[in-house]
Chains A and B, each alone.
Chain A
Amino acid sequence: MPAFELLQPASIADALELLDRHGPSAWVLAGGLDSFDWLKDRIKRPSVVVDLSGVVEMKGVRPRGEGLEIGAMTTLTDVVRHPMVEQRFGILTNAAEAAASPQIRNQGTIGGNVSQDTRCWYYRAGWSCYRAGGNICYADTPQAINREHAILGADRCVAVSPSDTAPALVALDAEMVIRSKAGERVVPAEDYFIGPGTDITRMTVLRTGELLVAIRIPGTWAGSTFYFEKVADRNVWDFPLVNVASAMVLSGNTVQRMRIAVNGVAARPLRLVAVEDAMRGKARTDDALTAAGELAIQGAVPLQFNAYKVPLLRNLVKRAIRGAEGT
């Protein structure tokens, strides 16, 4: 690893002070599972690394009103095992447990999992693409390895968001609590993630000097019918090809209201508002499911090797509405 100055604040205030002082030269280290890939490959060489592992106030799951607040530094294993999460927000348990591997979950944090950088082969290999500040995308070419890339929302960059917890949090109407030295702002999960049209070099709205300190989950979808599925090449320690998370309030076979979000198909997790609107008040008939699937893939633009994501997205959306009992 290239040399850097390691700073280990013990509180959020200290961390923000350090980030403010060092500005763009500071790299925020949570569990390190994303960071160390960059650092060990010597592609990113920050001069200062701010390690949050000692910031106890950013860890833990606590009740908040009708819902929960989860500290951003809570490990994925702690999220998976927490009874409060499993009892009422089981979709997050499933999503967090689908991420990576047990060893990674023991160290990786939920804040890191939602904020993680994309896994595009070319970007991760340090090639000078748009996302890295260059002026080319190596993946969007006729022969490139773009099997894992986006079918929706591409704007020069075709990379996808690889997080498993992100769509679950979007489906739960979660909010992200961001703090900087200037103060605090709360951003709905849907708006926390940005696409290349907005800023091609970032995956989230976090600006220099800002920290994601907590994730708030309202009680809105507690106890609803949840569905989470992740399709990947292997059964553990793999990023999703496509994943889906849905929360439905049902009466009989009719959907009163629902939230559904997918990831792995665009640079950010997509909340499928058109599908939600179409299914509101409708029964989960085969025709309704088929129509929902078709709505989800509207506007999809496949690359040379990722056209399978179109039927995969369509089928996963159908399954997410059909629910586990429908299979």
Chain B
Amino acid sequence: MNILTWGRNPWGEWILTHISWGLLWAALFAGLAFLVAHASYMLLSRHRKRAAHETDAMEAARPDLPPRIVRHSLAARLFHWVMAGAMFVLLFTAFLPIAGVKFAWVAWHWMAGLVLAASILFHIVHATIWMDFWSIWVGPSDLPELKAELMRELGHDVAGPRPGKYPLGNRLYHLAIVLAGLGVMATGLTMLVRVRTPFLTRNPYLLSDTTWGLTYVLHGLAGVSLVGLVMAHVYFAVRPEKWWITKSMILGWITRRQYLEHHDPQRWVAR
């Protein structure tokens, strides 16, 4: 299958135009395959959470902990849902016409894109200043956690580190989303000059044909990656064993027991 689509410019030269739309179906298929594979696997998997007796002991040792632990502030939750809404509008306006559902999508797409860009910029500022900036990133120091969690998957209750606020899987996913999201945002903002908006004079000749081709290809690659990434994210959000995390993105808190069962209180100091 082709990954790229080529076209001819008015001088007859071959130039890149955009990705092949087959990649959309590939992304949907890959996402679905992942969901099926993971769900099947989860039938065999063990819970990785802390054993009940250990949790009881910790709960008794920490009478200072409130029954509800704040996980996501209001600002963080608002950001998440605004971005999620924008992301869905973007994905549907981008890919429904390609799938054959024709409607006037362009205006909705760039407007949602601006909302996404604004929310991402908000998030960068908010997370850097008001949240624990370093807690989301992945590095070599996470290897012990990886090993411990893998052992727990297989049913061994090992002593190794438990996750901080953001488990390893979370953080790897966030990294992927950062790459795809920033990629699609940067290319998307550039592409605003290719359509009619109230604030820019449409001028596709701002960049060369070749540059535009690359921009469109990167935008498309990031876009189809997001199809798969969003599918995975929504899947995990509705999984029964993760439903407590999803609720926290709506309500803002988790219970003290969940906090102790799933996290290392030294790594994530609850306030």
**Chain A residues with CB below 8 A from B103, complex form:** 197-198
Q: How far, in whole Å, are A198 and B204 apart by their CA atoms in the complex?
A: 22
Counted as pairs of residues, one from A and one from B, with CB atoms less than 8 Å apart, the total is 45
Q: Are B17 and A141 interface neighbours, CB within 8 A?
A: no
A:112-170 near B, CB below 8 Å: 122, 125, 127-128, 133-138, 140-142, 154-156
Would you call the interface of chain A mostly helix, strand, loop, or mixed? loop
The reply to whether B205 and A197 contact each other, CB–CB distance below 8 Å, is no
B42 proximal to A (CB < 8 A): no
Q: Is the CB of A154 within 8 A of B196?
A: yes
B202 contact set on A, CB distance < 8 A: 140-141
Residue of A nearest to B10 (CB): A127
Contact A141-B104, Cβ < 8 Å, known A134-B7, A154-B196: no
> Is A199 positioned at the interface, with any CB of B under 8 Å from its CB?
yes
> What is the chain A residue whose CB lies nearest that of B15?
A128
Given contacts A134-B17, A155-B104, are A128 and B204 in contact (CB under 8 A)? no
Find out whether the CB atom of B106 lies under 8 angstroms from the CB atom of A198: no
Alpha-carbon distance between A141 and B204 when the two chains are bound, in angstroms: 7
- When distances are taken between beta carbons in the complex, the residues of chain B under 8 Å from A142 are 201, 203, 205
Q: Find out whether the CB atom of A135 lies under 8 angstroms from the CB atom of B106.
A: no
The one of A125, A135, A154 in contact with B216, judged by C-beta atoms closer than 8 angstroms, is A135
B9 touches which one: A128, A140, A154 (CB < 8 A)? A128
Is B8 close to A, CB under 8 A?
yes
- Decide yes or no whether B195 CB sits under 8 A from chain A: yes
Contact with A156, one of B7, B10, B106, B205 (Cβ below 8 angstroms) = B106
Which residues of B have CB within 8 Å of A125? 10
The complex places the Cα of A127 from the Cα of B204 at a distance, in Å, of 15
Residue pair B10, A138 in contact (C-beta under 8 Å): yes
Inter-chain contacts of B18 with A (CB < 8 A): 135
Chain B residues, Cβ within 8 Å of A135: 7, 17-18, 216
Most chain A Cβ neighbours within 10 Å, of B103, B195, B202: B202
> What residues of B have a CB within 8 angstroms of the CB of A136 in the complex?
194, 204, 212
Identify the closest chain A residue to B107 (Cβ): A155
A199 touches B102 (CB 8 A): yes
For B195, the closest partner residue in chain A by CB is: A156
CB distance from A245 to the nearest CB of B (A): 26
Interface string of B1-30 (1 = CB under 8 A from A): 000000111100000011000000000000
Query: Other CB < 8 Å A-B pairs besides A122-B10, A128-B7, 5 of them?
Result: A133-B7, A134-B7, A134-B17, A137-B204, A197-B104
Q: Which residues of B does A touch, CB under 8 Å? A: 7-10, 17-18, 102-104, 106-107, 194-196, 201-205, 212, 216
15 A/B residue pairs, CB under 8 Å, sorted by A: A128-B7, A128-B8, A128-B17, A133-B7, A134-B7, A136-B204, A138-B204, A141-B204, A141-B205, A142-B201, A154-B196, A156-B195, A197-B104, A197-B106, A198-B103
